[in-house]
A and B are shown apart, each in its own frame.
Chain A
Amino acid sequence: MNSSSLLTPSSSSSPHLQSPATFDHDDFLHQIFSSTPWPSSVLDDAPPPTSDCAAVTGFHHHDADSRNQITMIPLSHNHHNDALFNGFSTGSLPFHLPHGSGGQTQSQATASTTTGGTTVQPQTKPKVRARRGQATDPHSIAERLRRERIAERMKSLQELVPNGNKTDKASMLDEIIDYVKFLQLQVKVLSMSRLGGAASVSSQISEDAGGSHENTSSSGEAKMTEHQVAKLMEEDMGSAMQYLQGKGLCLMPISLATTISTATCPSRNPFVKDTGVPLSPNLSTTTVANGNGSSLVTVKDAPSVSKP
């Protein structure tokens, strides 16, 4: 009996384990294996799913498969080990096992590293090892975990927010924030839509822009805006547009505004402030007499809610 003979892989004769048929000590093996409840999952070709068995998976591609299975198994299923190790240590070992060097835990640790002279050394140690280039410092591990968690949540948020195809994290976060603001504004606008007409709508909207006076009619506020816009228009059209945009208004020729309002609701007087244009229920119009002679209409458009 050659102590350094290695088991050669071959088809298993015993249904219990993939022990090679050429093994001399069948009876010895049978004695050992019958003494302990052999975990059935181990017998499969699939590697056991624990981190300790990274060595096992590495060995599966190796030629001396079955032998390494026998070697590696104690690593993963520790609770089954005791009888095995006793058997191994007491019996005469036909194959080269490092059990002679020490106790159980040490053999567990070293089993993966020294399994025989001619076998390929395992690439990974049994303990948790970080990827190349990253520290195993517990703080940075926790940091990494936290970052992963945040990225995970951001991905789920990305699916919720429309226009969430931005790959950049910063712009994605901006989108999320804008969407939350937008939804809150929608709730606010919808809660006032059927209630008091233009007055409450425009005064509420201007309230957000910073300060308004308690008016049942917002004509005062509108006049202020008009004067401001007229003044700006005299200097520079661009700044006037920007000012309006900041307030959430836009300019359009009056003919277009009348067309829109008459097209959707012919009974309404287009020159009167109204919020009830069914197209977008929160539209209010203000006419501004321009110095050029043509009158422009500023259209205040709250975020229009599309029908579901």
Chain B
Amino acid sequence: MASADKLINTYVPEKDVFALHFLQSLSNLRTQNPLNSPDKSIDRVRKIKKAAYVSMARAAGGTSRLWSRALLRRAAKDDNKSVRFSRRKRKVTWKISSKRKRSNQRAPVVEEAAERLRNLVPGGGGMETSKLMEETAHYIKCLSMQVKVMQCLVDGLSPK
């Protein structure tokens, strides 16, 4: 099944898209909080981290991916000023089929790992295991892309 990956859509845009979104969010942060920067470094760190995740979610799939949507919703819930997020009319989740709740039949090894994954991947709470793994694959790709972008930034901006 070498072509199986083509059936599962795990397309991730290039690095530049991520970089663009991240830099935009950083500049927004800067304009938000003018230069005197009264808050402590920890808050700054948190804001940057949140900006990183939000920009990643926007760059990666907008609202067409489940984890990105859940991430954006979570971010919008905390503070409505920085994140603009419009709710979808129809709540789309990949629910665990209620018809067959015999979780004993599913391989318990896989299921406990799936539980742990659900806690890690945003939006993993309402997904079937197969959908969860698909989302995890896309999430991993996007995360690694975001890390590369941030690392390039750090390297480029660090004094030599």
Alpha-carbon separation in the docked complex, A203 to B41 (Å): 11
Of chain A, the residue at the smallest CB distance from B117 is A177
Contact indicator B158/A190 (Cβ below 8 Å): no
Query: Which residue of A154, A170, A179, A281 contacts B133 across the interface (Cβ within 8 Å)?
Result: A154
Residues of A with C-beta under 8 A to B130: 146, 149-150, 153
A/B pair count, beta carbons within 8 Å: 124
What residues of chain B have their CB less than 8 Å away from a CB belonging to chain A? 1, 4-5, 8, 10, 40-42, 44-45, 48-49, 52-53, 100, 105-107, 109-110, 113, 116-117, 120-121, 129-130, 133-134, 136-137, 139-141, 143-144, 146-148, 150-152, 154-155, 157-158
Of chain A, the residue at the smallest CB distance from B142 is A183
Residues of A with C-beta under 8 A to B42: 196, 200, 203-204, 214
Contact indicator A174/B147 (Cβ below 8 Å): no
Contact indicator B120/A181 (Cβ below 8 Å): yes
Please, what's the 1-or-0 string for A195-227, where 1 marks a CB less than 8 Å from any CB in chain B?
110011001100000000010100000000000
Residues of A with C-beta under 8 A to B109: 169-170, 173
| Known contacts A173-B110, A187-B146; A214 and B40 CB within 8 A of each other | yes
* A39 interface hit (Cβ, 8 Å): no
* B interface, over-half SS: helix
Residues of A with C-beta under 8 A to B5: 156
Query: Which residue of A152, A180, A188, A204 contacts B4 across the interface (Cβ within 8 Å)?
Result: A152
15 further A-B contacts with Cβ under 8 Å, apart from A186-B147, A200-B42, A281-B154, are A149-B130, A150-B130, A150-B133, A154-B133, A156-B10, A157-B133, A157-B136, A169-B109, A173-B113, A187-B147, A187-B150, A195-B44, A196-B41, A307-B151, A308-B148
Contact indicator A183/B45 (Cβ below 8 Å): no
Residues of A with C-beta under 8 A to B116: 177
Residues of B with C-beta under 8 A to A308: 148, 151-152
Contact indicator B143/A200 (Cβ below 8 Å): no
Residues of B with C-beta under 8 A to A57: none
Give the top 9 A-B pairs by smallest Cβ distance, nearest first.
Answer: A196-B41, A173-B113, A153-B133, A183-B143, A190-B150, A192-B45, A191-B48, A191-B49, A200-B41
Residues of A with C-beta under 8 A to B1: 152, 155
Tell me, rounded to whole Å, the shortest Cβ–Cβ distance linking B15 to chain A. Answer: 10
* A160 interface hit (Cβ, 8 Å): yes
Query: Which residue of A153, A169, A188 contacts B8 across the interface (Cβ within 8 Å)?
Result: A153
Contact indicator A190/B151 (Cβ below 8 Å): yes
Alpha-carbon separation in the docked complex, A170 to B10 (Å): 23
Contact indicator B140/A153 (Cβ below 8 Å): no
Of chain B, the residue at the smallest CB distance from A162 is B144
Residues of B with C-beta under 8 A to A200: 41-42, 45
Alpha-carbon separation in the docked complex, A141 to B79 (Å): 47
Contact indicator B143/A187 (Cβ below 8 Å): yes
Of chain B, the residue at the smallest CB distance from A154 is B133
Of chain B, the residue at the smallest CB distance from A142 is B100
* A238 interface hit (Cβ, 8 Å): no
Query: Which residue of B8, B44, B105, B140 contacts A196 across the interface (Cβ within 8 Å)?
Result: B44
* A194 interface hit (Cβ, 8 Å): yes
Contact indicator B110/A150 (Cβ below 8 Å): yes
Of chain A, the residue at the smallest CB distance from B151 is A305
